[in-house]
Amino acid sequence: MKKILFIEDDNAIQKTLGTGLKNKGYDIVSAKDGEEGLLLSKEVKADLVILDLILPKMHGLKVLENMRQEESTKETPVIILTNLENIAEVERALELGATTYLVKANYSLEEVINKIETALEV
Amino acid sequence: MNRLNIFKVCKSKYNVSLWQCPQFMFLMMGIVIIASSLFFYALGQRHLIQPETLALVVMFVATLLLVISFVVTRSFEGLAETNKIKDEFINIVSHQLRSPLTSLRWASQFLIKHKENNLDPNDYIEYFDLIKENSIRMEKLIDDLLIITRLNDQKVDKRKANFSLSDLVHEVTKEYAAVANKFNIKIKIEEESIPLAFSNEYLIRIVLRNLIDNAISYSDENSEIKVNFKKKGKKLAITITDYGVGIPKDVKKRIFEKFFRAKNIMHKKVNGTGLGLYICKLIMNTLKEKIWFESKEGESTTFGFSLSVNN
């Protein structure tokens, strides 16, 4: 069973996307802030990390930067899932090695789940 | 060197083209002034006999052009700043509205496909709660934006009347009791016989809501918030003190700015609108009353405002 670390502070997004992915048979580990997310990324051998950017305690890009400096997480695929759409954030995320940058507002829940499944198949 | 690169400055500071950029306009006006001075000097040399008159003419023309260029570039600077502020405002507001809207949409989509998602009817309440929570979030942002617009356009009813500030504080505190209890934060209101305040009760209620909301959000768990009253001459002062994160010294002068959030509180209230204190300041300015704060980072913060006593 593939494992997904889901770092997101919004209850509704956690609940809907988290449950949607569980129903598809994935093991979901949740974190509600950046610090917890970073800690869990080192402890849990996730096959994929879904990372929001505006997070309590530590910004998502900082989490990604730290992950890329750790031996155990520098190759872990990361999907950025946020509502921030400015070009500076997108470029920075891709520079730091994010696999994909998804703007939540542009997709339905089903579309996001499909994209996550596709990323895990690669 | 970067500051001398006008193109970079124009793009990064104002995000405008060169011809709309105050720095570039100032440079162009400088070149025009030098060229005009040389032109008038050359012209004067051919037609005027006295060098003193020539010097005066050139100086007069140069000064006149300098004043004009100053006025022009200042207005360009004002326009460019406004443009940048407007763009930042739109970016922030769009993000703040998009987030709860996405949550609403996904929760609704999830409920619509309840069979596919193996949802138990007992789970429905949780999703409806999420829908309600996010609707309230959006409503709060829109309310905040509307009040700002009305205050800025002077279209708010600012008539004053006598009312009990103490009663108002108790009412507002009751509204936040559930949230405060959740984190075991006790709100202690100093009981003292105080005269009636003479102000706009509706607007002061908004100020109190924002200050108490902030005090709770930035307090440590199991702490207390103190509300005190003090009569000083013809004024009645109220202070709200929390024993939480405090405000760092280097950001104190920005605390009443729109959307400003100090870095040390980002982990406490990520979902706030960032407009609360800006609204408080606008309201107190509209009512021609004072608002102030004192804070020590890591210890406590006190916000206070004063109102006239009953008329």
The per-residue pLDDT for range A54-111, each reduced to its tens digit, is 888 788 999 999 999 999 999 999 999 998 887 888 999 999 999 999 999 999 999 9
Contact A108 B101 (CB under 8 A): no
Span B262-296, pLDDT tens digits: 555 555 555 667 789 999 999 999 999 999 999 99
Calculate the alpha carbon distances from B4 to B16, B18, B32, B77, B115 in Å. 17, 14, 20, 17, 64
Q: Residues for chain B: how many in total?
A: 311
Distance CA B161, CA B151 (A): 19
What pLDDT was estimated at residue B182?
87
**C-alpha distance from B294 to closest chain A C-alpha (Å):** 25
Question: Chain A residue with minimal CA distance to B105?
Answer: A108
What value, to the nearest 5°, has the Cα angle with vertex A46 and ends A43 and A47? 160
As a whole-number percent, the residues of chain B with pLDDT over 70 amount to 91
Q: Which of A17, A20, A56 sits opposite B267 (nearest CB)?
A: A56
- Three-state DSSP at B239 gives strand
Burial tier of B120 (Cβ tally within 10 Å: 0-12, 13-18, 19+): exposed
Model confidence, pTM:
0.70
What pLDDT was estimated at residue A73?
93
Contact A54 B104 (CB under 8 A): no
Span A13-39, pLDDT tens digits: 999 999 999 999 999 999 999 999 999
Contact A12 B130 (CB under 8 A): yes
ipTM for the complex shown: 0.90
Instruction: Pick the more confident residue, B306 or B50.
Output: B306
Q: Which of A16, A84, A86 sits opposite B110 (nearest CB)?
A: A16
H or E element, residue B240: strand B235-242
What pLDDT was estimated at residue B266?
53
Distance CA B200, CA B83 (A): 34
CB B309 within 8 A of CB B235: yes
Contact A16 B109 (CB under 8 A): yes
Q: Which residue has the tokens 């006190």?
A: B302
**C-alpha distance from A34 to closest chain B C-alpha (Å):** 9
Calculate the alpha carbon distances from B163 to A73, B195, B201, B208, B304 in Å. 61, 9, 7, 14, 18
Q: Which of A103-117, B36-50, B51-65, B253-267 has the lowest mean pLDDT?
A: B253-267
**Is it the case that residue B28 has pLDDT exceeding 90?**
no
